[in-house]
Structure 1
Amino acid sequence: MTITAEERRARILEVVRELGTVRVMELAARIGTAPVTVRRDVAAMADSGLLRRSHGAVSLPRDTSSPGPEGRPLVLGMLVPAVGSYFDEVIGGARAAAAAAGATLVLGIAPYDAADDRTQAEQLLDAGPDGLLLTPNWHPGVSPGDTSWVRDLPVPAVLVERIAPADSAAAELDSVGSDHRHGVLLALRHLRALGHESVVLAAREDTWTAHQVRAGYADGIRLLGLKPRPVVDIHRPGLDSEAIATRIAEAVGQGVRAVLVHNDQEAIQLAPLLRARGLRAPDDLALISYDDVFAALAAPPLTAVAPPKRGVGATAVELMLRRIGSGS
């Protein structure tokens, strides 16, 4: 009887929990699956934080028997600005790592227009978490304001996909996040290697990631000696596609043949509009999207920069568990 990938991976976890550490070949024999399939499963599960690989052996990421206070399972609170798209994968990585450690993840959502991160965090504390994973609603290019309240939190906290200014109280917290500036530099290096001397950036301006992407673009243009171009602003995500396509077509008329778009949704919406203007990717225009959430679903699939979203969530949980374990 054929089993699904989910059932197979659940069986892998059962065996690893039973044996503690097991080599891939023995693992494959125990679950009756080809070693090549088990290796692929183990690699995917390790990327999600469910398993740890070391020298051909597989184990759990940590000792999952450590209980929280009074012997109950640990509870971790996670505050994010949105669900869907990008943060779905961050949450997925955190959830998998928490489950592997025998902990429970409790989610709180503070919309991007929420004004008070402190209030949102205090509401999440009502669930009685042993630690908080925080993605504050900091606006691009604007100081996060008074963050002294983080010093009064009754539990450890870790910033997720945020870097606090050095003069902020939040800078005292540990932080786990993607290096979006480096991600943009990788995209620009790729385009430069293909012979492009000028690259247009079309980017949102309403999120932390968008601000980091824009800063990375400015850095990369300078470092790689590319000809600078004005950024095409996406003022209304999902609604400005026609105007953006027109701006890009104008740039092509001026000799530009490469575009970096933040994010996947905007890039996918742009592709047919550019085709209507006689521009096909990749024949007439190199088009790279930033985020890699839906890029593979485009027609044709888009080249994309893929921040380690699930890895960020998993690593944040692992760091938090260390903080709780050390009592810091």
Structure 2
Amino acid sequence: MTISADQRRARILAEVRRHGSVRVVSLAQDLGLPAVTVRRDVAALADSGAVHRSHGSVSVPERRGASSVGGALGLLVPAVGQYFAEVIAGAREAAAERGVQLVLGISSYEVSADRDQVGKLLKAGVGGLLLAPNRLPSDLPDAQAWIGELPVPAVLVERRPAPDSPAAELDSVSSDHHHGMLTALRYLASLGRRHVALVARHDTWTAHQVRSGYTQGCALLGLTAESVIDGVGPQVDAEAVADQVVRLREHGTNAVVIHNDQDAIQLLPVLRSRGIRVPEDLSVISYDDVFAALGAPPLTAVAPPKKAVGAEAVELLLRRTAGGDAPTPPVRHVQLLPTLTVRDSCGGLAR
């Protein structure tokens, strides 16, 4: 079975960390790989600072704060779309700065796929895991029981576990999407827009957080909350979503928050064809801010700190896996606050 360069190098690092120092020829024999391939991978690892080469041997240099449990960190994400691409970028940059290799595993939005991908990362020799599993559903605890039984330290990424779930005792770092929604709603209220609708997906953890944040935020600010409109997807098209927004507009709705950028950009021309002007008739805020600035008009958007989440997750994991005599750090559940970028789709500054 062919393995990728990242997988080979993760295995090499795992062996080097296990032995402390090992000859390249012995590495090739132990791993069942051609010596020329191992030398090439060792050279790449040495160039990145992950290992030290000397006279045919390879060892791992002492590095303050670096992981002592394994030669690489595994990162599991449900998909490499625009959102998680930024999370991955933040994690990769933070790992590179610390001289640690990152191995990526891509799952799908099926709960069963997570465990399979984690198994493959562990076989590749990773010494710690950054996990963005599928939604962590509190009503399906058995589906995520394996998370509490992992053989290496793990940090949840863009996931916040339920207090009674198997993952509750893991470190986690996520965007505070409730705060993000509250920021959007507060800004709309400052513009006099007090009848705010929400268009949102329903198939991701972030979407569920956005939905509950909308209900909570409307209650806190005294805004009129509407029934949430399902976002554009396999079962719902932009025309159907626009029809629902038009009906709400006829009953006084004067603003809408849309999760995510893709749905918002698809809806703008459809709303325009229905005679709804943005921002004159309807203020629009997108949730994600990956390419909201490319809308027509450019979209005011909530921006979760995606790269910072990835970077902070790496730091949490390295703290957890640090060797030496340092005491075991307490479990941390970190939430980072999204920000709001104001553009033309809201038509003015807050009063």
TM-score bracket, normalised by the shorter chain, equals 0.7 to 0.9
Q: Kindly state the Cα deviation for residue 260 of structure 1 after the two structures are TM-superposed.
A: 0.3
Residue 112 of structure 1 pairs with residue 109 of structure 2: yes
Q: Kindly state the Cα deviation for residue 149 of structure 1 after the two structures are TM-superposed.
A: 2.5
Q: What is the match of residue 180 of structure 1?
A: 177
Equivalent runs, 1:12-23 vs 2, <5 Å: none
Larger Rg: 2
Equivalent runs, 1:1-328 vs 2, <5 Å: 69=68, 74-138=71-135, 142-234=139-231, 236=233, 239-326=236-323
SS in 2 for 1:284: coil
Gap regions ≥5 residues in structure 1: 1-62
Distance change >3 Å, CA 294–CA 237, structure 1 → 2: farther
What's the CA shift string for 1:284-303, capped at 9, x where partnerless?
A: 21000101111011122100
Over the aligned positions, Cα root-mean-square deviation in angstroms equals: 2.1
Structure 1 outlier segments of 4+, above 3 Å: 63-70, 139-144
Q: Within 2, Cα distance between the matches of 1:299 and 1:238?
A: 25
Q: Is the 8 A contact 2:75 2:130 kept in 1?
A: yes
The one-letter code of the counterpart of 2:128 is G
Q: Within 2, Cα distance between the matches of 1:281 and 1:239?
A: 22
What's the CA shift string for 1:207-260, capped at 9, x where partnerless?
A: 111100000011011111111211111262595110111111111111111000
Q: Within 1, Cα distance between the matches of 2:142 and 2:168?
A: 12
Q: Kindly state the Cα deviation for residue 201 of structure 1 after the two structures are TM-superposed.
A: 0.3
Q: Is the 8 A contact 2:157 2:313 kept in 1?
A: yes
What's the CA shift string for 1:132-151, capped at 9, x where partnerless?
A: 00111136674343534234
Q: Is the 8 A contact 1:238 1:266 kept in 2?
A: no
Farther-moved stretch of structure 1 (276-285 vs 204-213): 276-285
Count of residues paired in the alignment: 264
Q: What is the match of residue 18 of structure 1?
A: none
Distance change >3 Å, CA 293–CA 140, structure 1 → 2: farther
Q: Within 2, Cα distance between the matches of 1:137 and 1:232?
A: 22
SS in 2 for 1:172: coil
Q: Within 1, Cα distance between the matches of 2:66 and 2:219?
A: 51
Distance change >3 Å, CA 204–CA 225, structure 1 → 2: same
Q: Is the 8 A contact 1:132 1:156 kept in 2?
A: yes
Q: Is the 8 A contact 2:288 2:303 kept in 1?
A: yes
Q: Is the 8 A contact 2:108 2:114 kept in 1?
A: no
Q: Kindly state the Cα deviation for residue 99 of structure 1 after the two structures are TM-superposed.
A: 0.7
Q: Kindly state the Cα deviation for residue 154 of structure 1 after the two structures are TM-superposed.
A: 2.1
The one-letter code of the counterpart of 1:300 is P
Q: Is the 8 A contact 2:157 2:309 kept in 1?
A: yes
Q: Kindly state the Cα deviation for residue 168 of structure 1 after the two structures are TM-superposed.
A: 1.3
Farther-moved stretch of structure 1 (208-217 vs 247-256): 247-256
TM-score (norm 1): 0.75
Gap regions ≥5 residues in structure 2: 1-61, 329-351
The one-letter code of the counterpart of 1:255 is G
The one-letter code of the counterpart of 2:222 is G
Q: Within 2, Cα distance between the matches of 1:291 and 1:238?
A: 22
Distance change >3 Å, CA 273–CA 310, structure 1 → 2: same
